[in-house]
Amino acid sequence: MFIVDFIIFVLVLGVIILIHELGHFYFAKRAGILCHEFSIGMGPAVYQKRNGETIYSIRAIPIGGYVSMAGESVNDALIKTDMVIGININEQGQIYQINLNSDLKSDAVGIVKSFDLYGKDFDPLFIELEINGTLSNYPVVRNAVYRLTEKKEMWITPSEKSFESKTLWQRFLVIFAGPFMNFILAIVLFTIVGFFVKQPNLDSSEILGVSPDSPAVTAGLQSEDILTEINGETINSWYDLSAVMQNLNTGIISMSYERAGTTYQVDDVVISVIIQMAGISNLEYDEDGQFVAIYNDEPIVGAAFGRAETDGELQSGDLITSLEIDGVNQVVTSWDDIIVFFKTNTRGTITVTYEREGVSNEATYNLISKDALGRLGYQAIVFQIGITPTSEFNLGYTLAYPFKTFYSNMMQVFNTLGLLFDAKEDLGLGDLSGPVGIFTLVSSTASQGFIAILGFTGFLSINIGLLNLMPIPALDGGRLVFLGIEAVTRKPLNRKIENTINNVMFFILIGLFVFVTYNDIIRLIKG
């Protein structure tokens, strides 16, 4: 299973990165910029093939990618003065090959005394060589190549093929095209998903599906049953059902439903409760995803996740005996006590006293507040029966689906970033996920089927697109900021300063990458 999940993970990231880099590559080629390499992945190359002036590479680490464009660095020339090089000359006496390896066959070998391989404003290119004590000036063709080995070559970079020589608009398109293509990919994927997602009929309380091993099965509910009451509250639609469920203060309900014109009453139905702000649930599954139990009379943790699992180190099977927040302690004897406690306390630091194998322990960790969860589109406490509403195909719903989903996912990313910088919320860099966390999410999504994978890929593509547009040097957004400065000041930022800023920030981002990956691994181990 791990191998299958890993392959899906590589394919998901690979497609997102491929589309992103293709955006950069397409507009760079369209602007006439020389692209030395188009690479998917980082690290050592496992496959390379040259086509024209570009080397196409697949690298060992399936994270990231790049388009190596001429003129991005301060100096693209691979030669310098007083360097010994070999040259090959065409019939017109022009250099068409510059040999950087002494083992390569050369028409002449000499010491570089001066050169211009950039040729601003189409000035002639040349290399002045000292050969056997004599200075000779050789013209260079504008499509000459550096030869590193017999099979490895790299084109020189004359000004007209350099990134920096292009107009502000052309450079903007080259940089912005990567994230933009991520957004296009997301909309395309959501469009495909939309044709498989029917519009739920929320104006009815008729049941379409019943989840296996759910409270609905225990209550005897079946497809086509119509809910009429929950705890004495009339249910005429799915909106009524949601409102009643959100206002519950207990994990036990009574319900009435109609089947073939006959009304049935079921009492003392234990429903699943997920305290998302605290990271605990009363529903337990084993490692294979098989239902084990649902708890109510005893406050047993069915599942622990998030901070409850990582910071609090709670585990499935722990028996909660008390909860404390802001110095106020509440004795816990049932899951109803837990529900009431978290209905009342919506943020802060919690201390959970629990028993594990007869030994009393304490866990202290910070809650994710109700407000923070709301901004991310989640409820603080979720009550579930295990039923789904009826649905039907609606062309308008299908056509609108990709754009509504794109907007909601984009706003979720913005809200997440906003929470990271909100002093009132206890969220920080430690809550971010890196590649290991993404792999875990891909693995979880893969079990839900191909359509779920497409939807998640779209969501991840939006994340990568927006994060790349953040105004941080070394990212596409930072480069756009530099272009903005150039547009205002009418002159480009000093190349050495820009490259220094980008390089410093690149290493900071690498450090952040290592930090986030470390946290991912710790979470995985504790899980």
pLDDT along the chain (527 residues), means of 10: 79 91 96 93 90 91 86 78 95 95 94 93 94 94 93 90 93 96 97 94 94 89 95 96 94 94 93 91 78 85 83 89 92 94 90 94 88 84 94 94 94 80 62 55 69 92 91 90 92 80 79 63 54
**CA–CA gap between residue 60 and residue 350 (Å, rounded):** 44
**CA–CA gap between residue 264 and residue 262 (Å, rounded):** 7
**CA–CA gap between residue 361 and residue 282 (Å, rounded):** 19
Report the pLDDT value the prediction gives residue 171, as an integer from 0 to 100: 95
Class of domain 199-271: mainly beta
Decide if 413 contacts 466 (C-beta within 8 A).
yes
Look at residues 12, 16, 64 and name the one whose alpha carbon lies nearest to residue 39: 64
Decide if 53 contacts 33 (C-beta within 8 A).
no
CATH 2.30.42.10 range(s) for the chain read 199-271, 278-367
Distance (Å) of CA 281 to CA 87, 276, 299, 309: 72, 8, 10, 12
Amino acid at 295: Y
Report the pLDDT value the prediction gives residue 511, as an integer from 0 to 100: 74
E-strand spans in 148-251?
153-155, 199-200, 207-210, 226-230, 233-234
Look at residues 7, 11, 9, 23 and name the one whose alpha carbon lies nearest to residue 465: 23
Look at residues 468, 466, 473 and name the one whose alpha carbon lies nearest to residue 493: 473
Report the pLDDT value the prediction gives residue 430, as an integer from 0 to 100: 57
**pTM attached to this predicted model:** 0.83
Instruction: Enter the tokens of residue 426.
Output: 């206890």
Measured in whole angstroms, the distance separating CA 25 from the mean position of its chain's CA atoms is 21
Report the pLDDT value the prediction gives residue 518, as an integer from 0 to 100: 55
Report the pLDDT value the prediction gives residue 427, as an integer from 0 to 100: 60
CATH topology of domain 278-367: Pdz3 Domain (2.30.42)
Sign of the alpha-carbon dihedral angle for 73, 76, 81, 84: positive
Decide if 84 contacts 100 (C-beta within 8 A).
no
Instruction: Enter the tokens of residue 179.
Output: 């994230």
Decide if 67 contacts 21 (C-beta within 8 A).
yes
Decide if 114 contacts 128 (C-beta within 8 A).
yes
Report the pLDDT value the prediction gives residue 447, as an integer from 0 to 100: 66
Decide if 46 contacts 56 (C-beta within 8 A).
no
DSSP string of 117-147? SS-GGGPPEEEEEEETTEEEEEEEEEEEEEE
Residues recorded for the chain: 527
**CA–CA gap between residue 100 and residue 78 (Å, rounded):** 8
**CA–CA gap between residue 454 and residue 187 (Å, rounded):** 11
Instruction: Identify any residues that bridge with 42 across adjacent strands, giving them in sequence order.
Output: 61
CA-based R_g, the chain, Å: 31
Look at residues 341, 343, 321 and name the one whose alpha carbon lies nearest to residue 332: 321
Report the pLDDT value the prediction gives residue 522, as an integer from 0 to 100: 56
Decide if 520 contacts 429 (C-beta within 8 A).
no
